[in-house]
């Protein structure tokens, strides 16, 4: 069995877990975003005890690389890198947008939605940013990119152009902004399907296992968070 430790601190809620192949043997969630660092450090030890395994038994460390919270991504990646280096284990980087797409396709399959069988179906993963901006990417049902990850400004014309290509499934924290735009009269006869769900530790385990089996690992020295745009820090007032 392939045993993977998972760390996700990219958003308001942090997730950590341990999987063996596709089975989750222990997991934990933290809802206080300003305590993710302490949560990960203490939580990893707790999960190992709960699962009855030692850290040295883990085959790889999986971590979300972003996009997401600037501070959260740094916290999670620093923890994952530290563990990977100390244990001499490979580091697996996961895209939060790909995880959202995985969750969307899984939801469609579980609910019997026939859109998942549409050849032109598009999954639009979106994470809220400032104003009408999002971090987004578009995938097909096989989770292949139709449009790469980037920062986007949402508007009616952009959404209508996507809808002209085929059914559009929207998932992620940027959905609320998208819903506002689709109240325009141009969307009366055509509108995206909005999913009110996110990815889980099970989605992380599935995508991390694929990368582990393909030996698709991150470089511990040079890998960094996928911010998708420059980080701005407000200057201190003296």
Domain CATH code at residue 108: 3.30.420
Shared-domain flag, residues 123 and 89: no
Residue 142 maps to a domain: yes
Shared-domain flag, residues 44 and 103: no
The alpha carbon of 148 is separated from its chain's Cα centroid by a whole number of angstroms, namely 14
Residue 228 maps to a domain: no
pLDDT band at 234 (very low <50, low <70, confident <90, very high): very low
Rounded to two decimals, the pTM is 0.93
- Give the separation between CA 74 and CA 97, rounded to whole angstroms: 17
Shared-domain flag, residues 80 and 114: no
What DSSP state is assigned to residue 48? H
Residue 86 maps to a domain: yes
What mean pLDDT do residues 181-210 have?
A: 92
Shared-domain flag, residues 10 and 75: yes
Residue 237 maps to a domain: no
Give the alpha-carbon dihedral of 11, 17, 19, 24, to 10 degrees: -100
pLDDT tens readout for residues 146-163: 999 999 999 999 999 999
pLDDT band at 230 (very low <50, low <70, confident <90, very high): low
What percent of the chain lies above the pLDDT cut of 70?
96
pLDDT tens readout for residues 53-101: 999 999 999 999 999 999 999 999 999 999 999 999 999 999 999 999 9
């Amino acid at each position: 069995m392939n045993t993977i430790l998972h760390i996700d601190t990219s958003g308001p809620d942090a997730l950590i877990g341990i999987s063996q192949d596709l089975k989750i043997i222990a997991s934990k969630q933290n809802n206080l975003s300003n305590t993710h660092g302490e949560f990960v450090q203490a939580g990893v030890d707790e999960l190992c005890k709960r699962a009855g395994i030692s850290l040295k038994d883990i085959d790889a460390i999986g971590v979300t690389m972003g996009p997401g919270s600037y501070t959260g991504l740094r916290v999670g990646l620093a923890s994952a890198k530290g563990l990977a280096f100390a244990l001499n284990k490979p580091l697996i980087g996961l895209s939060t947008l790909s995880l959202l797409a995985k969750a969307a396709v899984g939801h469609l399959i579980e609910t019997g939605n026939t859109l998942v069988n549409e050849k032109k179906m598009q999954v639009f993963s979106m994470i809220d940013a400032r104003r009408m901006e999002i971090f987004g990417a578009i995938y097909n049902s096989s989770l292949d990119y139709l449009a790469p990850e980037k920062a986007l400004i949402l508007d009616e014309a952009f959404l209508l152009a996507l809808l002209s290509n085929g059914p559009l499934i929207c998932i992620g924290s940027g959905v609320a902004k998208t819903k506002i735009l689709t109240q325009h009269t141009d969307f009366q006869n055509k509108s995206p399907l909005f999913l009110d769900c996110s990815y889980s530790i099970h989605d992380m385990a599935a995508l991390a296992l694929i990368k582990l089996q393909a030996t698709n690992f991150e470089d511990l020295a040079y890998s960094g968070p996928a911010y998708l745009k420059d980080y701005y820090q407000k200057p201190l007032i003296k």
